[in-house]
């Protein structure tokens, strides 16, 4: 908020500055004495006393034009611009063009300040700002001025007003025009312009403005907070964390005024604590952020902002039910805040309750269409609800023993297309999948084409697919499955397939198809720990049953702002009921595999990023009759995210598997495009 600092002027100098003439003041000793006192009050900076003296003198000379003008201009100078403008409008003929512009700019500036106040309701919160902008434009039109040649004070005030109206692109463009013309921003405009530059995703440009604002007004907690996020969004997470830690060290948790009986809470320390936790969360250190926010929320259970921030962390950790509970608490305490409603929306989407997310989405989009968090919500919703597509291509080459079930060369490519969501539950999908495998004496090229429906609502998910191939083996393929989400951690799924496409291609080369049934269990403790277990049976047309038991675990062991290291463990046991079959079918086999995965965020810009992934593992494979063998595997991948729901990925892999005691070398490449969530 601007601090008004009127100039200290003598009455004579004021008359000269404002273009006033005292000739209209009749010569009277008491009037001369009063004018002298007014001049003295002004010289001493006693503005209210000067104003009171003017008003007393007006009671004696109510028709005096000079006193009227002095009264109006003094009111405007000391911050009563609204009352001054009202009095000006009553007798505009008493003021020249310069005086009118002076009163106008003061009044417009005051209206800008009024527009920043908390509105009576959500629907009327911007009415004052809209009216002020309309009047500002009308006055400029009246004077025949454009924005580019308007008085600087009007242009500066306009930036604050546009920021209030969340017209951030206009703020950015008009600020750049001022900068190009060589005009430096006054202190009171810096936070608004910095905020709009952040909203338009220009953090590097915002940083120097926010740094200057923080230096000039160190008591502005919101400016320091915005600066920390500017560091984060410009790719400097360590700078953001260090800045907030330094800020927190500067601010004691409690302050005490001299002579006071008790201390009072230092809200600057709270702001530093809160935003440090959130930036740690955005930098990947979610457990630390969670502990800090839970401690703060326990100490201040009535603080809606804390509950909303904690809900955001729960959401990032993969716990939408816990997140929803916190966001509902925050909304109850602060029903006009945007973030608790956005948080509820995100939780409902993750919980497969689009019917409950939609009212929140529509209300927020109606009330806050230009807020960045709402615009991102809109992009996410459109990506989630709209068309989904997945295209992929894979290829590999095996060499060595010549008995690989993958063949000497294997290739696969295909596409899946899903319709927009129907009735908040259903999608229709279609797919085509071409596989090509070269065995020593045969090439297999099945083309599987199919369609089906997918269902997701609340805790239940499922799908039914029908497909057919061009090789006339096994007839129409059918796959059906369903799953149940018990809570934020546990999910179970059951699937069955007739003429399963995942069965051995070696068997298919011998005109043998297979049906299957599978049970899968998943436990996801958080974003750092995931465990899966499964059991499946493939029943081949030749009477062979192939049974598999598998389990896998992923545990994050290192988290840095741009690097994550995850330990991997996988194990499986398999058995076949028949031995003499024309495809790889060990009587008994199993493998225990341990490895590491390194994920490096090489580049990020808001919703876009480039990640690199390196995965290295070694497994101890055992097959009855052939003993044990070590199986190394290395994979390297790139991932480009071009926006919400738009991902391109590709990678290469190398491994040395063993089949029937003979070691092979397999080199593979793959690429995929994801469109939609």
What's 422's DSSP letter?
B
7 exposed, middle or buried (CB, 10 Å; 0-12, 13-18, 19+)? exposed
The predicted-structure confidence for 147-164, as pLDDT tens digits, reads as follows: 888 889 889 999 999 999
Which residue, 112, 110, 108, is CA-closest to 126?
112
Mean pLDDT of the 257-276 span: 79
Q: Give the 3-state DSSP-derived string for 528-544, with helices as H, strands as E and coil as C.
A: CEEEEEEEEEEEECCCC
- Residue 160 contacts residue 192 (beta carbons within 8 Å): yes
Residues 6+ apart with CB under 8 A from 186: 156
For 629-659, give one letter per residue: b (16+ CB within 10 A) or e: bebebebebebebeebbbbebebebebbbbb
The predicted-structure confidence for 131-141, as pLDDT tens digits, reads as follows: 888 888 888 88
Helices (H), 368-438: 372-385
CA distance 552 to 524: 12
Q: Is the pLDDT of residue 256 over 70?
A: no
CB atoms within 10 A of CB 232: 23
User: What residues pair up with 481 in beta bridges, in sequence order?
Assistant: 463, 495
CB atoms within 10 A of CB 124: 10
Helix (H) or strand (E) holding 304: helix 304-316
Question: For the chain, how far is it from start to end, CA to CA, in angstroms?
Answer: 43
What does pLDDT average to over the chain? 89
The tokens describing 332, both together, are 């109850």
What's 2's DSSP letter?
P
Find the length of the chain.
677
CB atoms within 10 A of CB 535: 15
Of 40-49, 73-82, 113-122, which range is least confident?
113-122
The tokens describing 72, both together, are 């109006």
The predicted-structure confidence for 204-217, as pLDDT tens digits, reads as follows: 999 999 999 999 98
Which residue, 401, 408, 411, 397, is CA-closest to 438?
408
What's 147's DSSP letter?
G
Predicted confidence band at 8 (pLDDT cuts at 50, 70, 90)? very low
Helices (H), 200-285: 203-216, 221-233, 237-250, 267-282
The predicted-structure confidence for 343-384, as pLDDT tens digits, reads as follows: 999 999 999 999 999 999 999 999 999 999 999 999 999 999
CB atoms within 10 A of CB 362: 11
CA distance 575 to 646: 41
CA distances from 588 to 139, 406, 548, 557 (A): 88, 19, 10, 33
Mean pLDDT of the 561-586 span: 95
CA distance 677 to 672: 14
The tokens describing 197, both together, are 């530059």
The predicted-structure confidence for 392-440, as pLDDT tens digits, reads as follows: 999 999 987 667 888 889 999 999 999 999 999 999 999 999 999 998 8
Of 76-80, 361-365, 416-420, 476-480, which range is least confident?
76-80
């Amino acid at each position: 908020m601007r601090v008004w600092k009127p100039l200290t002027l003598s009455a004579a100098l004021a008359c000269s500055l404002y273009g006033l003439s005292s000739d209209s003041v009749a010569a009277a000793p008491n009037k001369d004495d009063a004018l002298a006192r007014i001049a003295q009050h002004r010289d001493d900076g006693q503005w209210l006393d000067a104003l009171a003296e003017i008003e007393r003198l007006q009671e004696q000379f109510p028709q005096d034009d000079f006193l009227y003008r002095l009264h109006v201009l003094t009111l405007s100078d000391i911050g009563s611009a609204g009352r001054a403008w009202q009095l000006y409008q009553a007798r505009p003929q008493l003021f020249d063009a310069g005086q009118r512009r002076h009163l106008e700019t003061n009044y417009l500036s005051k209206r800008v300040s009024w527009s920043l106040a908390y509105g009576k309701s959500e629907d009327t919160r911007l009415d004052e700002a809209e009216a002020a902008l309309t009047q500002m434009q009308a006055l400029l039109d009246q004077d025949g001025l454009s924005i580019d040649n308007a008085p600087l004070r009007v242009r500066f005030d306009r930036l604050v007003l546009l920021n209030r109206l969340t017209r951030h692109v206009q703020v950015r463009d008009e600020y750049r025009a001022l900068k190009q013309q060589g005009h430096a921003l006054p202190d009171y405009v810096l936070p608004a312009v910095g905020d709009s530059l952040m909203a338009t995703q220009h953090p590097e440009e915002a940083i120097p403005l926010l740094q200057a604002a923080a230096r000039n007004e160190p008591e502005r907690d919101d400016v320091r907070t915005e600066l920390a996020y500017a560091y984060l969004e410009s790719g400097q997470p360590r700078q953001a964390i260090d800045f907030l830690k330094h800020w927190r060290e500067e601010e004691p948790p409690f302050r005490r005024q001299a002579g006071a009986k008790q201390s009072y809470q230092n809200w600057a320390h709270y702001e530093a604590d809160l935003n440090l936790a959130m930036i740690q969360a955005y930098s990947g250190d979610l457990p630390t952020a969670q502990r800090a926010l839970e401690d703060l929320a326990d100490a201040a259970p009535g603080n809606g902002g804390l509950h909303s921030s904690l809900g955001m962390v729960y959401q990032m950790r993969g716990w939408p039910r816990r997140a929803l509970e916190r966001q509902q608490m925050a909304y109850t305490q602060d029903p006009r805040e945007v973030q608790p409603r956005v948080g509820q929306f995100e939780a409902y989407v993750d919980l497969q309750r689009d019917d409950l997310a939609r009212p929140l989405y529509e209300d927020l989009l109606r009330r806050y269409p230009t807020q960045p968090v709402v615009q991102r919500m809109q992009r996410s919703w459109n990506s989630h609800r709209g068309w989904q597509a997945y295209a992929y291509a894979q290829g590999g080459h095996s060499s060595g023993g010549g008995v690989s079930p993958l063949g000497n060369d294997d290739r696969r490519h295909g596409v899946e297309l899903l319709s927009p969501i129907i009735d908040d539950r259903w999608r229709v999908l279609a797919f085509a999948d071409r596989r090509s495998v070269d065995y020593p004496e045969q090439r297999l090229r099945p083309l599987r084409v199919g369609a089906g429906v997918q269902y997701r609502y609340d805790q239940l998910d499922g799908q039914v697919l029908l497909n057919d191939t061009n090789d006339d083996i096994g007839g129409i393929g059918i796959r059906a499955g369903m799953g149940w989400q018990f809570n934020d951690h546990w999910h179970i799924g059951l699937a069955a397939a007739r003429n399963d496409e995942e069965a051995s291609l070696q068997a298919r080369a011998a005109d043998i198809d297979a049906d299957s049934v599978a049970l899968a269990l998943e436990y996801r403790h958080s974003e750092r720990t995931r465990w899966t277990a499964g059991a499946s049976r493939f029943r081949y047309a030749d009477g062979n049953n192939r049974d598999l038991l598998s389990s896998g675990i992923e545990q994050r062991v290192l988290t840095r702002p741009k690097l994550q290291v995850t330990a991997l463990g996988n194990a499986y046991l398999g058995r076949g009921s028949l031995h003499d079959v024309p495809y790889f079918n060990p009587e008994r086999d199993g493998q225990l595999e341990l490895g590491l995965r390194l994920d490096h965020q090489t580049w990020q810009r808001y919703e876009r990023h480039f990640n690199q992934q390196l995965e290295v593992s070694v497994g101890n494979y055992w097959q009855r009759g052939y003993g044990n063998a070590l199986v190394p595997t290395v994979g390297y991948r790139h991932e480009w995210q071009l926006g919400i729901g738009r991902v391109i990925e590709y990678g290469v892999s190398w491994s040395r598997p063993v089949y029937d005691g003979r070691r092979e070398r397999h080199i593979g490449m793959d690429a995929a495009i994801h469109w939609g969530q």
